[in-house]
Amino acid sequence: MRIGVGLPTRSSDTTAAGVIEWAVRADRGPFASVAVTDRVVQDALEPLTVLAAVAAATARVRLVTSIVLAPARETTLLARQAATLDAVSGGRLTLGVGIGIREDDYTATGQRFRRRGRRLDAQLPELRRIWSAADGEGRIGSRPHRSGGPELLIGGYVGAVARRIAAWGDGFMAPGGGDPASMKMLWSEIQSAWSANGREGRPRWVGATYFALGPNADAAATAYIAANYAFDGALAERRRRSIPTTAEAVRGAIARQAELGADELILRPCTADLEHLERLAELVSAVSR
């Protein structure tokens, strides 16, 4: 199983220079990817803009959105941005999309929160159409590096995810981990829908969890969850309990994802402190030996 690392685009101690330095160090190894998350109503760096800067500063790691709130964005612009990122990065983009759970993100962008699933259902074929258009067929934007568009992973925890992946996606983005039993059940539905739709091979599964390491790990995890999940106390408590804050706990999280069958696990930081990245790099290097 590959290991990716999140970029600290939503931490209170984030700086633009710090995010680029984080990505450059991750590009040295042992990480397979760097990933960004998406929020609208928050003091957070915009994910696709960050990945454009990271693409220029790195050479090896894949660039992952885990996830972008596609229904909160204009579809044609999202398609153009993704195609351009894929092209300028030499095909390193993995576009993970989902619908999110915060109503204020949709209010701020003028979209209807309770229709976000139906909006995503309309966006997915349109993204594929734009990316796949031949010259002379009303091409919109640049050609992506990969024929048919960048790798497209679809996230969420409802049954509609299986249908969406089978029809339009390349795999599953489990943006917050989820209960193992529920994840196994949903993964089985995804594989069944994939086969029933006549798709060859198997879909890819990318999981994610937060992490914090070092002397201030517990404080960093607590502060991050308080800043990002205060809107739902019960969810915040579940998120906080699930965050590994020791080397042993991180190794356990990696092992559990591997046992579930994930192809890749993204470990998202709770702070921009580079010490946490260096500690994680040492741990992942040891696990990979």
Domain harbouring 8, CATH code: 3.20.20.30
Domain interval for residue 231: 2-288
When pLDDT is averaged across residues 2-18 and rounded to a whole number, the result is 94
The number of folded domains in the chain is 1
pLDDT band at 138 (very low <50, low <70, confident <90, very high): confident
Classified as helix, coil or strand, 247 is: helix
Predicted pLDDT at 220: 96
The two tokens of residue 37 are 């998350």
Q: Is the pLDDT of residue 175 over 80?
A: no
Predicted pLDDT at 41: 96
DSSP 102: -
User: What tens digit of pLDDT does each residue of 54-94 get?
Assistant: 999 999 999 999 999 999 999 999 999 999 999 999 999 99
User: What tens digit of pLDDT does each residue of 181-209 get?
Assistant: 888 999 999 999 999 999 999 999 999 99
Predicted pLDDT at 177: 59
CA 248 to CA 283: how far, in whole Å? Answer: 9
The percentage of the chain sitting over the pLDDT mark of 90, rounded to a whole number, equals 86
When pLDDT is averaged across residues 206-232 and rounded to a whole number, the result is 94
Residue whose entry in the numeric block shows the structure tokens 């879909």:
203
Predicted pLDDT at 288: 76
CA angle 146, 186, 251 (to 5 degrees): 80
Q: Is the pLDDT of residue 36 over 80?
A: yes
Q: Is the pLDDT of residue 166 over 90?
A: yes
The percentage of the chain sitting over the pLDDT mark of 70, rounded to a whole number, equals 98
DSSP 152: E
The pTM of the whole model exceeds 0.85: yes
Task: Judge if the upstream peptide bond of residue 175 is cis by omega within 30 degrees of 0.
Answer: no
Q: Is the pLDDT of residue 289 over 80?
A: no
